[in-house]
Amino acid sequence: MSQRMLARLRKDFRRLADPTRAPDMQRYMKSSMKYFGIAAPALRKICRESFADASFEDAETWRSCVLHIFRNARFREEWYAAVELSLWKKAKDFQTLEALPMYEEMIVTAAWWDIVDTLAAHGVGELLRKYPKPMAARMRTWSRSDNLWKRRTAILCQLSFKKDTDLALLYSCIEPSLNSKEFFLRKAIGWALRQYAWTNPAEVQRYVQENRATLSPLSKREALKNIQDRSIG
């Protein structure tokens, strides 16, 4: 099934490929991997059609198919297709702790925000919802990883949690990166705080005020972007 699905995806991607836009997409994403040049809505439509008749006998078969597409990708849209299959609504019952190594491989291998941020918010994040205790422990470990993309994932995994955000977990995942000069970590800290500010702006203001000496200017600016009183120095 894995080989047939990848072959079908490639056939459809080639049919809709736009060589005039592909180089610009590759440059924008600073990607060593080429693009077909397919817009996101068209790509998602192809994926829906390709996955419509798919049936996996168990979670292991699904994970194997996702990783087959991902590992054998020659164009970045094939990576995107693997991400779509990993988050496929019909695979909801397969989203167990056994899926985390799959997400980890994709995050570490892709090592760029277009893949990582989607998997952080919608893959790893959903595992955190379902398995809060073991996943919280794992995210705390990831937040101290030598791999910046695992750190970014730990910071961003609660982006959609709103009032369900585990603040202790969020702050403990931010803390190891407070002094980092890495842009993608500073941006992630600000983004995560900004998202929670929609739910509790006063708490985000308090946190930024309390940590104003260690938060980077970028993180503070992003965190307070949607808060009316941004006078924290």
Residue range 125-159, pLDDT digits in tens: 999 999 999 999 999 999 999 999 999 999 999 99
Alpha-carbon gap, residue 220 to 212, rounded angstroms: 8
CA distance 195 to 65: 33
Q: Give the pLDDT band of residue 214 (cuts 50, 70, 90).
A: very high
Amino acid at 43: L
Does the pLDDT of residue 233 top 80, yes or no?
Answer: no
Give all domains of the chain, ordered by start, each with its CATH number: 1-94 (1.25.10.90), 112-233 (1.25.10.90)
- Please tell me the distance from the alpha carbon of residue 164 to that of residue 109, in angstroms, as a whole number: 30
Measured CA to CA, the distance from residue 33 to residue 25 in angstroms comes to 10
Of residues 8, 88, 13, 18, the one with CA closest to residue 43: 13
To the nearest 10°, the Cα dihedral for 143, 144, 149, 155?
A: 20
> Where on the phi/psi map is residue 35: left (φ > 0), alpha (ψ -120 to 50), or beta?
beta
Provide the pLDDT confidence category of residue 229 given band limits of 50, 70 and 90: low
3-class state of residue 12 by DSSP: helix
**In angstroms, rounded to a whole number, what is the distance separating the alpha carbons of residues 197 and 189?**
12
Is the pTM value of this prediction over 0.85?
yes
Instruction: Assess contact for 86 and 66: CB atoms under 8 A.
Output: yes
What average pLDDT does range 11-33 have in this prediction?
Answer: 96
Which amino acid, residue 181?
A: K
What pLDDT was estimated at residue 1?
Answer: 75
pLDDT at position 205: 96
